[in-house]
Amino acid sequence: MNKKELIDIVSQKKDLTKKDAEALVDTVFDTMIESILNGDKVLISGFGTFKVNNRKERKGVSPKTKEAMIIPASKTVSFKPSNRLKDAMN
């Protein structure tokens, strides 16, 4: 499912115009992104948790030149599904 399909489904299920459904979906995603950028966890009960993880600086090898290199520290977002979601999948 992509964003357009999600907007179409929200529009149909909640009897909204596509423009209103798009605004709703955008607001939800923008709010989640803002919280994650502030370092907060986003816990959606029954779905899962999004959180920021810090990756340490590490050694690596350039696949092109085979030279050793240092991969800089970075941040990434992880998702941990809720038990309800895991159970529904099995």
Structure confidence by residue, pLDDT tens digits, 6-38: 999 999 999 999 999 999 999 999 999 999 999
Segments of 1-90 assigned E as strands: 42-44, 48-55, 58-61, 68-71, 74-81
Q: Which CATH class is domain 41-89?
A: few secondary structures
Q: What is the pLDDT of residue 7?
A: 97
Q: Domain extents for the chain?
A: 1-38, 41-89
Backbone angles phi, psi at 87, to 5 degrees: -65, -40
Work out the pLDDT band at 90, boundaries 50, 70, 90: confident
Is the pTM for the entire model greater than 0.85?
Answer: no
